[in-house]
């Protein structure tokens, strides 16, 4: 038997509004389209440093996203539980993170929500990038601009380096 993690996401109604005390306010849940995009991107990826997505199912207004189970939790949880990491652990996790990012970027995918809570650990201590809810797939791979505009305040910032990319 394979262990799986399940991420549950509530789908907003068609109007995207909930009634609260007689007034309508925007709901912060995700749309079906954004959930399906996360699953589509996740299922297209296979790398030792990227969480594996298995699929999804809808149960009413709840979507269950099935993915690889990583029993050691996140880097965020590790830091909360044990405090600062020693330099060798930081170096090892940074190397693994960069391997995962190189893979994602080679596939034209920008994660757009990297944080310690989205960096999970397998039972062997392998770091894996998780949560592709904010990810964006480029229609064409990002190519750095070699001629930034003269009037840009920060010519080497990421948006200007990749100004022709559909990531931004």
C-alpha–C-alpha distance, residues 141 and 6, integer Å? 31
Beta strands in the chain (DSSP E): 4-10, 17-20, 23-26, 53-59, 62-68, 109-110, 119-121, 127-129, 136-137
Give the global pTM: 0.73
From 18, 59, 86, 113, active-site residue: 113
Q: Give the other-Cβ count within 10 Å of 100's Cβ.
A: 22
pLDDT one-digit tens code per residue, 122-160: 999 999 999 998 999 987 654 443 434 434 443 444 443
Q: Which pLDDT score is estimated for 64?
A: 87
Is 113 a known active-site residue? yes
Delineate the domains of the chain, giving CATH numbers in brackets: 4-137 (1.10.510.10)
DSSP annotation of 106: H
Residue predicted with more confidence, 163 or 33: 33
């Amino acid at each position: 038997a394979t262990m799986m993690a399940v991420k549950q996401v509530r789908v907003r109604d068609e109007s995207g509004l909930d009634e609260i005390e007689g007034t309508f306010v925007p709901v912060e849940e995700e749309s079906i389209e954004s959930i399906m995009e996360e699953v589509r991107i996740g299922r297209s990826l296979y790398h030792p440093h990227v969480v594996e997505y298995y699929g999804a199912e809808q149960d009413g207004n709840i979507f269950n996203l099935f993915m690889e189970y990583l029993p050691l939790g996140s880097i965020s949880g590790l830091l909360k539980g044990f405090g600062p990491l020693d330099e060798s652990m930081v170096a090892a996790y940074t190397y693994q993170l960069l391997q995962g990012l190189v893979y994602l970027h080679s596939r034209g995918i920008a994660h757009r929500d990297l944080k310690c809570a989205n960096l999970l650990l397998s039972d062997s201590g392998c770091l894996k990038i998780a949560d592709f809810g904010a990810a964006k797939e480029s229609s064409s791979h990002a190519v750095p601009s070699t001629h930034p505009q003269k009037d840009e305040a920060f010519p080497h910032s990421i948006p200007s380096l990749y100004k022709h990319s559909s990531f931004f």
